Structure 1
Amino acid sequence: MQQIINFLIRNKNNILFLLLLTFSLFLTIQSHSYQKSKFISSANFLSGGIYSWTSDINSYFYLEEYNLRLLEENERLRTRLATYEDSLEIKTYRDTSSFDADYIFRASEVINNNYAKVDNYLTIKSGSRDGIERDMGVVTSKGIVGIVENVSPNYSTVISILNSNSRINAQLKRSNHFGTLVWNGDNPNIVQLIDVPSVAPIAEGDTIITGGRSLIFPKGLPIGAVKNFSLDQSESYYNIDIELFNDMTNIGYVYIIENTSQTEIRELQNLSKDE
């Protein structure tokens, strides 16, 4: 303890200088928008680099599992290609065979994934230079992951479905009854489907898919299976626990979904509102 005190006394001038320098830089960044934007950009670049480095290490230990996922997905894609071989043209990965609008899927790597908080986010190794924009959907071959929230040139942050602010349209696969997918913050493998009317036919094990009533996710993407359900206090709607198909604690690679008709649809909707 005495050595620490002696060290502080010997270097008190240098320590004071560093404290004052840090404080002055803080005031400069806070009071000037240009310096603040540069600092945020540099911080994003640094954190993205760190996440990318740690992701490379984690990916090494999960190579076998990731390869198995790719094999399963390739099997499904080959089956679909065999069915639509005469009419399907592949560029990036454009799928117009099963969705109402024109969607493009872009592959990316997850370099940071939170799942233990109430409001969780992911960071992916793709940004505006790769054609990624805010409000694009993010999925894996097994199910949905979240929605792009912020984008830099090389990286993007994704608001996870394991986030208290997440609201995604979803429906029962065997009927057209739909509700809102939310998360109560408890189990990273279980999310909740609310606002499903009590007249809906439902059973444990039923598959839940995206409802297609938004411009983000096409209809029919897998989400999970009904684990249990009960009526709310008014007995008008179900509260349903959904066991996710995705293991949200181990997301390695994802697809970002672009709805190429989104701009046209929004312009048409805004025109209808104005009238």
Structure 2
Amino acid sequence: MQQIIYFFIKNSYRLLFLLLLGISFALIIRSHSFHRSEYINSANSITGGVYENINSINEYLSLREKNELLAEENARLKEILFNKKDTVLDAKNLKYKDVLFYTVSKAKVIKNSYNTRQNFLTINAGTKDSIKSGMGVVNDHGIVGITEKTSKNYATIISILNIDVKINAKIKNSDHFGTLSWDGKNAGYVQLTDVPRLANIKKGDSIVTGAESKIFPENIPIGKIDKVFINKKTNYYTINVRLFNDMTALGYVYIIGNTEKEEIEALE
């Protein structure tokens, strides 16, 4: 307490000066409208900047929740898209009975390998989310892989960057199709084989999923033709396809369930 009293005594002149200075500024602001308006504007500018920064921080902290909501909305829209030939419809009037063939649910990739010859991913969705083995996995850019093993809360996915994966694919706007696989070399490219030489193809053409696939809906994007070779043994084309997806940076994905897959497989 004595130190506080000593501080005020020692700095009494300075404190008195600051007090008088503050009183004089207050009197000037109150008696002159120009100075008052300038003061208010300056105060508003400062507080506005503070509020803006606080709001930016709050928005940043809520990004995770917003991303979750967007992913859920994307899953619902993709479900509509995969089940309707005419996708121009009113989503609000869509009834569940209209969705006959494919179901779509969202998940997030929590582990991803891409530098071996047999790559896998792990997602944070499992049997409690109706995830089963053999379901197609895509994101907003194209195909990602096929579900393999599941637990209650998690599932593993065989990446398209896996030499054991074979997917039916075709040249967009064409009936010519082949088998999509990976040669285990470059994470940015896959190969489409067994395409007949009658097919009219050129560099830059899009490759999409084919109609014969029971895992993926038709016309899911895969990539663009980069190079074309002729296999001398089979006399068919082998096409190098540059992926639309960056398989080294995956976030949210969508798992596609074919509700009639088991019936088709049993019939065949």
Matched residues in 2 for 1:179 and 1:86: separation? Answer: 34
Where in structure 2 are the equivalents of 1:202-213 lying within 5 Å?
A: 202-213=201-212
Contact 1:148 1:158 in 2 (8 A): yes
- Which residue is equivalent to 1:53? none
- Which residue is equivalent to 2:134? 135
Residues 68-125 of structure 1 show CA distances to partners (whole Å, capped at 9, x for unaligned) of xx69x96xx599798211796266xx985xxxx6101100010000001111000010
RMSD (CA atoms): 3.0
State whether structure 2 residue 144 is matched by structure 1 residue 145. Answer: yes
TM-score, with structure 1 as normaliser: 0.65
Q: 1:95 to 1:166 in 2, by over 3 A?
A: farther
Shift of 1:187: 1.0
Matched residues in 1 for 2:87 and 2:233: separation? Answer: 49
Shift of 1:218: 1.1
- Which residue is equivalent to 2:181? 182
Matched residues in 2 for 1:148 and 1:142: separation? Answer: 18
Shift of 1:236: 1.8
Q: For the pair shown, which has the larger CA radius of gyration, 1 or 2?
A: 2
Contact 1:95 1:102 in 2 (8 A): no
Q: Say which SS state the counterpart of residue 84 (structure 1) adopts.
A: coil
Q: 1:95 to 1:245 in 2, by over 3 A?
A: farther
Contact 1:95 1:103 in 2 (8 A): no
Residues 230-275 of structure 1 show CA distances to partners (whole Å, capped at 9, x for unaligned) of 1111462111110111110001010000011112222322xxxxxx
Contact 1:198 1:235 in 2 (8 A): no
Where in structure 2 are the equivalents of 1:1-275 lying within 5 Å?
A: 77=77, 83-85=88-90, 89=94, 96=99, 102-234=101-233, 236-269=235-268
Amino acid at match of 1:84: L
Q: 1:110 to 1:214 in 2, by over 3 A?
A: same
Shift of 1:126: 0.7
Shift of 1:133: 0.4
Structure 2 residue ranges without an equivalent (≥5):
1-59
Matched residues in 2 for 1:176 and 1:157: separation? Answer: 32
Matched residues in 2 for 1:95 and 1:182: separation? Answer: 34
| Paired-residue identity, % | 47
Q: 1:87 to 1:215 in 2, by over 3 A?
A: farther
Shift of 1:212: 2.4
Residues 137-182 of structure 1 show CA distances to partners (whole Å, capped at 9, x for unaligned) of 1000110000001111111000000001010000000211000111
Q: Say which SS state the counterpart of residue 164 (structure 2) adopts.
A: coil
Q: Which moved more, 1:242-251 or 1:80-89?
A: 80-89
Q: Kindly report structure 1 stretches of 4+ aligned residues shifted beyond 4 Å.
A: 77-82
Q: 1:229 to 1:262 in 2, by over 3 A?
A: same
Matched residues in 2 for 1:255 and 1:95: separation? Answer: 20
Contact 1:95 1:104 in 2 (8 A): no
Matched residues in 2 for 1:88 and 1:210: separation? Answer: 29
Contact 1:167 1:182 in 2 (8 A): yes
Matched residues in 2 for 1:164 and 1:250: separation? Answer: 20
Contact 1:136 1:147 in 2 (8 A): yes
Q: Say which SS state the counterpart of residue 83 (structure 1) adopts.
A: coil
Q: 1:87 to 1:265 in 2, by over 3 A?
A: farther
Contact 1:205 1:227 in 2 (8 A): yes
Contact 1:169 1:180 in 2 (8 A): yes
Matched residues in 1 for 2:235 and 2:179: separation? Answer: 15
Amino acid at match of 1:231: I
